[in-house]
Amino acid sequence: MTNSHANLDRILLPLDGSEAAASIVPYVERLASMLGADINLLGVIPSPPADLPNDISGGADAGVVTQYLEGIKRGLEDNEISVDVDIQEGQATAEILACAEGRQCGLIALATRGRSAVGPNLLGITTDRVIRSSPAPVLVIPPDEDGGAVSPKGTAKTIIVGLDGSETAATSLGAVRQVARKLDLEIILVRATPPVDPLGGAATYFDSVSHHAELYVKRVADQLAADGLSARTVVGPLSAQEQLLQVADEAEEPLLILSTRGWSNRADWQLGSVTDRVVRTARHPVLIIPPAGRS
């Protein structure tokens, strides 16, 4: 499975029974309805330690997990969404990735944090591991301050995409086109050109950089418009993280779409400093696009 042609017809939604995990179900439900996508619910029961009997290992009971997921399934099916349920035993990250591969899910939806009510936490560190190793795009949805759904009234009306002129950043545009076309969303292309202290002719140089940045995002916007998509640009003087979050906070029901830096020396990929900071601080959903060719 690679991200070159994202399959938006099936969304993998791992749940662990926590309030934070459950809070994103309405958002994923609305997204699936708008995309015409099926949802695959996943529960992961950890394998018990080899030196402990199953009944005292502290692991979640399969019956409890099944009952919990079947309840979520019934609610989704009441709203005419096709749902499958998988329950696996093993390590959370590995089982999430294996299920995404086996079920051909083109999108994995995760909350950013949470404490499990029926078993070990699938969030937090697991979310971090999944977004650093998944070949499929990962949608990260932050709960609000009270642990509730981040977008109780809607799903997405605006796409915010960060560009820095690099080929890596531009890899997100394929997913941008797909999502924008399917959901009929406006696209805002964001480019940050933070100023520096002028040294000699540096001010003139950075004025030129800002001008070229504006030309670049305008060229991308024109290409999107030629494809029948609505796009506008924002080039601002803040840091990349601050510029993206400011635009998102001012937009209506935004979805941020960001690419990653690329390969690391550990056979996984790095988020990149900007994407990493945005994912950890954004109050809005972020769709993370992994490096092209990851399999």
Question: pLDDT tens digit string along 251-272?
Answer: 989 999 998 864 333 333 344 6
Confidence of residue 5 (pLDDT cuts 50, 70, 90): very low
Whether residue 55 is predicted with pLDDT greater than 50 in this model: the reply is no
Banded model confidence at residue 274, pLDDT cuts 50, 70, 90: confident
Q: Is the pLDDT of residue 125 over 60?
A: yes
Mean pLDDT to the nearest integer, 7-23 = 87
Domain boundaries, the chain: 10-141, 158-289
Considering only residues 208 and 10, tell me which one the structure prediction assigns the higher pLDDT.
10
Same fold, 10-141 and 158-289: yes
What pLDDT is recorded for position 269? 38
CA 89, 92, 95, 100 dihedral sign is: positive
For residue 239, give the amino acid letter: S
pLDDT reported for residue 217 = 93
Q: What is the pLDDT of residue 53?
A: 53
Token code pair at residue 221: 């916007």
Name the β-bridge partners of 286: 140, 256
Determine the Cα–Cα distance for residues 39 and 251; give it in Å rounded to an integer: 28
Q: How many CB atoms lie within 10 A of CB 123?
A: 23
**Residue 9: Cβ-neighbour burial (10 angstroms; 0-12, 13-18, 19+):** middle
Whether the predicted pLDDT of 93 surpasses 90: yes
Helices and strands (H and E) in the chain: how many: 10, 12
Domain 158-289 sits in CATH at: 3.40.50.620
Q: pLDDT, tens digit, for every residue of 237-256?
A: 898 999 999 999 999 899 99
Instruction: Determine the pLDDT at residue 146.
Output: 57
- Predicted local confidence at residue 3, as pLDDT: 45
State how far the Cα of 55 lies from the Cα of 41, in Å rounded to an integer: 25
Tokens of 63: 């019956």
Q: What is the pLDDT of residue 282?
A: 86
Q: Does domain 10-141 have CATH number 3.50.50.60?
A: no
Q: What is the dihedral of CA 241, 245, 248, 250, to 10 degrees?
A: -130
Amino acid 144: pLDDT = 63
